[in-house]
Amino acid sequence: MACIASPADAPGGARRVVLFDFDGVLVRGDSFTRFMRARYASAWPRAIPLLLAAPLLGLAATTRRGRRALERGLVHWGLRGLDERAYHARAHAFGRSLADDARNLQRAAFTALRRHRHAGDRVVVVTGCEHVLARAILDHLGLHDVELVASRFAHGGGGPRIACRNVGREKLRQLAALGIEPTWDVAYSDSLVDLPMLGGAAEAVLVNVETAGFERARAVLGERVRRVDWW
């Protein structure tokens, strides 16, 4: 299943292309993790088997493959029983609540995003956050026309399951499906996991990273990368 919503998300043109990561750049923290914590808190009995299995889950988390399987399992278990309509309703409500609290937003990031839009740039938010939740936050902030490439669920028997995890090099594949190929003009991220996306930019901007992380990025990206502190 593709991460991209529809061709309507991909207007053409020869404008400058500017990519924004979402969590840690536009919003503070991990939006979907917060959603899942709230979900488990509201349905706490389903957390009991996880507590009992904690030693085995911890062992699984020691490998990359195990962490991915664990992530998928925790998401499916936490959302088990929700059909697509119910999930959308909960994600929309939670997204609106996050957007309503200014403490969850990086004001300087939204100032930069709006500056790019005012200049006529093509702004695309490219995130590992789930699409419905990220879209709800952007829409509630009045950014309905900002393009979004995000992780997506498949809906079926038993509840939502992760169908597309839009992280790392997957972001490049999903951008290519929108007709966006390197080199794009600017890319903003707070994580070295996004080095593939940052590496495709003429100008790479790391947001709120520590000195060690910035030096690692500069060793790969050279003088194309700069650092900003947004609070």
Per-residue pLDDT of 86-139, as tens digits, reads 999 999 999 999 999 999 999 999 999 999 999 999 999 999 999 999 999 999
**By residue range, what is the domain housing residue 186?**
7-228
Q: Report the number of distinct structural domains present in the chain.
A: 1
pLDDT for res 215: 97
Give residue 74's pLDDT.
77
Distance CA 17, CA 5 (A): 19
Asked, for residue 177, whether it belongs to a domain, the answer is yes
Residue 12 resides in a domain? yes
* CB-neighbour burial class of residue 120 (10 A; exposed 0-12, middle 13-18, buried 19+): exposed
For residue 63, tell me if it sits in a domain. Answer: yes
- 146 belongs to a structural domain: yes
pLDDT surpasses 90 at 164: yes
Query: Which structure tokens are listed for 109?
Result: 């990031």
**Which CATH number is 70's domain given?**
3.40.50.1000
